[in-house]
Structure 1
């Protein structure tokens, strides 16, 4: 067989050769080697390292082969790109027939190397995908663990696949321990038929579902919860995976129960309060009727005086009282204002009416003695819880008309003269019902025909308006009365009361308003 035929046969099996001398000159005895390496433009002899630069640094090893100090030397899987990518193994063998040369064998391993590369690439790709899946799983786990509510996911048969840390704390099972378990294992008491029915409906219809239920974990702890579930298809877990979130509403339920109990108690209390209010209102109505009966409606008719009264009580029972009694040829006048309001004030009012009328025959002739005796009787008969202001007065007609009075801390009488003059009468005094053996002063004034004399309680001077101002007790009060002056007593009193109401405006009335008027005929 010729050398050319041998070269062809060897080349078909991917083996090419050449001869290397001691000067490191490669002789291309096999022309197919040049073609394989893509060296068509080089000569028949070339320096070994120019053809195979991969051999730089291995010169000593190659010398050992040439001079028979070792059998061979090899470099495996050398990569080149000619028309396409090739891989080959390079072998250098000692030449048994020549002492200063060696045989160069090039073994083509392209097919196997490419297959190996593809396998390695696929392996690398799988490794990357696995690493990505691991990273994604770690991300999802971290994300789930940041959710403050228990989160779980399970397969279509109801067995748990995984959960977050809050679900582990909620059930008392670790993620590994609950894997593959169903709900009845995790919770000692649960309506499993209802629980599973919700899952079956969710798998059949898809979407999401939420409901409220009661569960008890293995530690015996009872919870009221809202469970939100949704489903997504997954062939690896029986066709579907159920994801759920549990919201603990135990605290809210306890508050609702407490609120319910409190509401029930409030209803009972409201019923009791309603009964008490009814009784109080009934008592107030009785007391109000009693007070109304105490107040004088008809006044003595005389030839020298006309008498009139205006009374605007509060909704509560007030403490204002007045009386005008004919005592012989005189008229005795008494007006008072008890501190406070309500049923107690009404009781004290009835006592004062009784006390004041019981001493009028003996002391009516002297207003100062009258007031001192009333103070004594009041303090000796009653625990001094209430005090009162009062004026005891007398109109006498022996020589003209004379008004004599004593003041126990009450707003001053006002005399409106026929000639237009207006003034406050008397001076301040101490209120009644505080000090034993209290002494009072006595004052007098002459009344002429056409003069008007007024008595009132502090509900008029202490009337407030929206600017938090009051009418006042001194000059401003006299000006107020003066503006209300009309030709008749009735018109004058109506005008004064109208001014009080206008001054107050939208402000709620804060005290009884009493105005008692006299005009000399």
Structure 2
């Protein structure tokens, strides 16, 4: 039993030491003469001296003489609460509050807190303007109209009071369920805000659940751009814990354990680096129970950084003063979730060595994420290539980004407090602006073009999107305009409009040229298949464009021979038509001399094209048919062209005929081979362009030579003319919805009778 009491007293002693040393507030004890008997280490955070500096001295260097009159007020009261100033590191005064209570032995116990600075006030002002930051603020914020009726409360208010917007509708915005507030307090508040001042103080309120709590409140007037008060704002922080802590320090050790479980997560480490004690909030944030934590090494719970900091303090030797270490780190919970925490470590000294370490954690994950999001948003707007303007409901400019400055020539100081009317050029009518305001005041987005004027008088065009911004109540409070400089585009449109007639005339000339080219192609291509003894001849021609790039011809030669030419030019259109006309003329001329000699014919054609039309070339096949007893011979050569297909009726076989040859007109000398094939009764010969076997379907699959051979063989039982049509139909079916990419020419020959 005695051991349990000693352990409890040890824990209470540790907690008491922690509350004095770990507290972020300044706690001091004065004797009857006003000399300092004790002051906690937090004084070093706010001032330039250590606690030892103040021991045995008056607090003149901490509290200015003008603010020490409060110590005279103890004549009539046991407790005094007042606003004072203390001297900071740089000699500047820090505004704060002090609570003092005279103890039964005449000593004075004091608590200095609620430290404020102008930098914090400016930051709070910035956060107030940013709705996201306001929503995430841990403090309670209430905004009311000039009539005192609540218009907005943030989630911090709901968390602190349990009341939502609907619960306080019609209530006076300063007090929600007040507890024993003197009438003079009301009068002080309204006197302050009506005289353009803010009121600060502590109030005791009641939550929706009936629970009583203390809050440190600030009530301020909100002015519009004209300096008129339009709203009141109350910012309050729940200071119940601080009140309870002060009460616990003075009156009861038993209350400390309850306070511990309603502050931050707290842990105590022994001299061996093991957990000695943790509170409920520590188990909540880690996800482990106290039995899973106490007695284990800190490395089982904390990462390397926190563990290193703890052992660095534990290894300290021959120290006189307690140390406080503050840093941010990462904490991994039992479920693997990682949180960002603010860590405070404080040492408890025994003799000249560190006996224990008391630490607290503060989960700042939400704050860090909010800061990162705000930073991203601010950076995006600042670096935006578009001008951004934010105005209030009356159009008064509150913000412009750097792009606005670089575009218009106005810096932010020149436009803040003014309206975008300073950019007006007079080009747009009053009805134009009336329509704009009607649209955005109705809560809709407006899009349109402005013809505005820069600071230097230069006119410019911009496309704008103006959108209303609504607060949590759905009320429009601001307008956001995002504008893009379209001056260059406007100039281009004007230039395009000016050149429209010229382009139209050029197009008409091109249409005429195209008509002439179509006439040329029509004249050089055969109107129908020729008649030749012993042969059935048919063809299909499908140009990709109005003017194709394929050429074929039939020439009757001497000694009862028939010459056949098929060429495929690289290209389409007018230039291809002119080139085809040149090739047709050359073929007609060369076939007179070389009609029964395919190799010399294509070689002579190659030299002529290479020397006169070096930038053009074609693939070609030339051959001639000649009766040879019971056979019909076809002697041919090809210059880089698709190989002919031979169908044997008796064997029902198909094959490709592949003599070698290079494209015509591409090289100075053409290397070409000649080949002769004999057709028997019913045999067929097909020549074609690559638009057939290179057909692509929607799955990017190519028909290929094998696909073409299978189709020809499949349609071999049909008459030649029908067979040609069916071959083309099969190719188109394979192609499906895919787009054609080349001309198609297919010519078929069938040996239909023997020579009598």
Selected match of 1:393 from 603, 617, 623? 623
SS in 2 for 1:401: strand
CA shift at 1:360, angstroms?
0.8
Residue 669 of structure 2 aligns with which residue?
Answer: 437
User: Does 2:508 correspond to 1:278?
Assistant: yes
User: Does 2:593 correspond to 1:362?
Assistant: yes
Q: Is the 8 A contact 1:171 1:218 kept in 2?
A: no
Range with bigger deviation, 415-424 or 455-464: 415-424
Residue 654 of structure 2 aligns with which residue?
Answer: 422
CA shift at 1:443, angstroms?
0.3
Distance verdict in 2 for CA 1:247–1:469, change over 3 Å: closer
Give 1 or 2 for the bigger CA radius of gyration: 1
Deviation per CA, 1:13-67, whole angstroms, max 9, x where unpaired?
xxxxxxxxxxxxxxxxxxxxxxxxxxxxxxxxxxxxxxxxx9xxxxxxxxxxxxx
Q: Is the 8 A contact 2:599 2:637 kept in 1?
A: yes
CA shift at 1:361, angstroms?
1.3
Residue 159 of structure 1 aligns with which residue?
Answer: none
Selected match of 2:704 from 447, 458, 472? 472
User: Does 2:636 correspond to 1:409?
Assistant: no
Residue 286 of structure 2 aligns with which residue?
Answer: none
Structure 1 unaligned blocks of 5 or more = 1-53, 55-120, 154-162, 199-206, 228-244
User: Does 2:679 correspond to 1:447?
Assistant: yes
Selected match of 2:223 from 140, 143, 146? 140
Q: Is the 8 A contact 1:457 1:515 kept in 2?
A: yes
CA shift at 1:190, angstroms?
11
CA shift at 1:332, angstroms?
0.8
Selected match of 1:288 from 518, 521, 531? 518
Q: Is the 8 A contact 2:545 2:573 kept in 1?
A: no
Which structure is richer in relative contact order (CA contacts within 8 A, separation 6 or more)?
1
Range with bigger deviation, 444-453 or 280-289: 280-289
Question: How many aligned positions are there?
Answer: 353
Q: Is the 8 A contact 1:368 1:406 kept in 2?
A: yes
Residue 192 of structure 2 aligns with which residue?
Answer: 131
Distance verdict in 2 for CA 1:214–1:450, change over 3 Å: closer
SS in 1 for 2:603: helix
Distance verdict in 2 for CA 1:150–1:219, change over 3 Å: farther
Q: Is the 8 A contact 2:586 2:605 kept in 1?
A: yes
CA shift at 1:428, angstroms?
3.3
Alignment of 1:337-376 (within 5 A): 337-376=568-607
Alpha-carbon RMSD = 4.8
- 1:472 and 1:436 map into 2 onto residues whose CA distance is 30
SS in 2 for 1:431: coil
Residue 99 of structure 1 aligns with which residue?
Answer: none
Deviation per CA, 1:276-316, whole angstroms, max 9, x where unpaired?
33322332222122112211113432221121111011125
Residue 102 of structure 1 aligns with which residue?
Answer: none
- 2:397 and 2:188 map into 1 onto residues whose CA distance is 27
Selected match of 1:500 from 728, 731, 743? 731
Deviation per CA, 1:239-295, whole angstroms, max 9, x where unpaired?
xxxxxx99797x85x846655444333333444433333322332222122112211
- 1:217 and 1:442 map into 2 onto residues whose CA distance is 78
Distance verdict in 2 for CA 1:287–1:138, change over 3 Å: same
Structure 2 unaligned blocks of 5 or more = 1-74, 76-181, 199-218, 231-387, 401-409, 434-440, 467-476
SS in 2 for 1:341: coil
Q: Is the 8 A contact 1:325 1:331 kept in 2?
A: yes
Q: Is the 8 A contact 1:461 1:477 kept in 2?
A: yes
- 1:452 and 1:377 map into 2 onto residues whose CA distance is 33
Q: Could you tell me the TM-score, scaled by structure 1's length?
A: 0.57
- 1:188 and 1:388 map into 2 onto residues whose CA distance is 63
CA shift at 1:425, angstroms?
1.7
Q: Is the 8 A contact 2:626 2:633 kept in 1?
A: yes
Alignment of 1:3-402 (within 5 A): 127-133=188-194, 134-135=197-198, 138-140=221-223, 149=390, 252=483, 255=485, 259-328=489-558, 329-382=560-613, 384-399=614-629, 400-402=631-633
- 1:151 and 1:172 map into 2 onto residues whose CA distance is 17
- 2:571 and 2:694 map into 1 onto residues whose CA distance is 15
Q: Could you tell me the TM-score, scaled by structure 2's length?
A: 0.40
CA shift at 1:149, angstroms?
4.5
- 1:217 and 1:359 map into 2 onto residues whose CA distance is 74
Distance verdict in 2 for CA 1:261–1:376, change over 3 Å: closer
Distance verdict in 2 for CA 1:449–1:132, change over 3 Å: same
Residue 271 of structure 2 aligns with which residue?
Answer: none
Residue 491 of structure 1 aligns with which residue?
Answer: 722
